[in-house]
Amino acid sequence: MVAPNGFSTTFRPELFFAFPTLGAGLVCDPLGRPIKRCRIETEGRWDEVYDSLHFDERYIYDDGEQDLMHWAVDMEADGRITAQEASVVGPLISRLAGPNWRVKFRRKGQPPLAGATLTYDARFTQVSPKMVLKRVTIAWGLVPLASLRGYHQHRD
């Protein structure tokens, strides 16, 4: 839904990510200093068998590193949204409130932290029908390691 001022009042991740997106992000250290930049691409498809959206989320960093996540997103009958991803360790917390979607999960770290289990706290805010802002905090236990600020925008 869009408010009279053009801003989105509700976010439907299972609909937004059904369309291909192209975005970018900036990874910063805990003091806010830039570490690296990335291109963020998503490609979604509806899975009729599971009645859910499946989308691939690819991060392509300026140092050549890549990270690929395979998501499955479902809207439950009671209005809750659930999400799953193969690299997630343990339960995933998903909360939807108006234009905001928060997803918190743990997954194994990528090099140079391979083997460590890191906590990802991702917050998406839909600012227009075709754009979502993203903030992700990455921590090891209670120790913040990095943050990512970025966006997803529908490709035309």
Q: Are the C-beta atoms of residues 132 and 152 closer than 8 Å to each other?
A: yes
Mean pLDDT computed over 1-19 = 76
Structural domains of the chain, with CATH = 13-154 (2.40.128.20)
Has residue 1 got a pLDDT over 90? Answer: no
Confidence of residue 6 (pLDDT cuts 50, 70, 90): low
**Pair 144, 136: CB distance under 8 Å:** no
- Write out pLDDT tens, residues 28-60: 999 999 999 999 999 999 988 888 999 999 999
Q: Is the peptide bond before 91 cis (omega within 30 degrees of 0)?
A: no
pTM of the shown model: 0.89
In this prediction, residue 79 carries a pLDDT of 78
pLDDT over 70 (residue 113): no
> Could you tell me whether strands 143-154 and 117-128 are parallel, antiparallel, or unpaired per DSSP bridges?
unpaired
For the ranges 17-26, 94-103, 107-116, the lowest mean pLDDT is seen at 107-116
Tell whether the model's pLDDT for residue 150 goes beyond 90.
Answer: yes
How many CA atoms lie within 13 Å of 13's alpha carbon, on the beta-carbon side?
31
Is the four-CA dihedral 2, 46, 97, 139 of positive or negative sign?
A: negative
The whole-number pLDDT of residue 62 equals 97
